[in-house]
Amino acid sequence: MAKKRSSRKKKFTIRFELGLGGLVGLFTICFCIFLWMFLLGVWAGQTVLLPSGRDDTSKAISRFSAKIWSQARKAAPSAQPDPDASADGPRLAPQGESDEEPSYFSLQVAAYADEENARQEVLDWQARGEEAFFRRPREGSSLYRVFVGRYDTLAAANDKVDELEEADSLQAFITLLPVGDGQ
């Protein structure tokens, strides 16, 4: 008896057959393409989203902080407006000109648990021609913090931080310190 042909049509199928070498090659190519896309995306994000220079960033931060600082002074009922405020950042009023406690910006460059190490760090900075001092530990802390410079504006402190980071490859933190606090 003759076999009956099935009335069903065959479906069109595509098959890829790869050996181990082909799979490794395909994986390598896909990895390189995804890596290139990632690196290109990071580069594009850095150039499009971030400003080109660090100076632009520090100036923008200074203007922003000056705006916030002046708004806070206006909001305080007893605060007097500061005639020295500028686009460079907040200028701190000298002692005796306002009801608030006078203060200044300084750069914290180190912190030590031992007072002798802090004194040696201060001497090293002073030998380099910088105004340096350290503060005794506050309540709840055991670190002697070493500071460099006294700056009236945040912009001046930012400029000094940039200079130190370029010249000495060290990280400094800008801190607002009250005048007359024991050293």
Instruction: Express each pLDDT in 114-166 by its tens digit.
Output: 889 999 999 998 998 888 998 888 777 888 999 998 988 888 888 888 888 88
Comparison of pLDDT for 8 and 80, the residue scoring more: 8
pLDDT at 22: 92
Whole-prediction pTM value?
0.47
The rounded distance, in Å, linking the Cα atoms of 155 and 66 is 10
Give the tokens for residue 147. Answer: 């500071």
What is the rounded radius of gyration, in angstroms, for the C-alpha atoms of the chain?
A: 31
pLDDT at 81: 46
pLDDT of 26 strictly over 80? yes
Residue 38 burial (CB < 10 Å; 0-12/13-18/19+)?
exposed
The rounded distance, in Å, linking the Cα atoms of 2 and 50 is 78
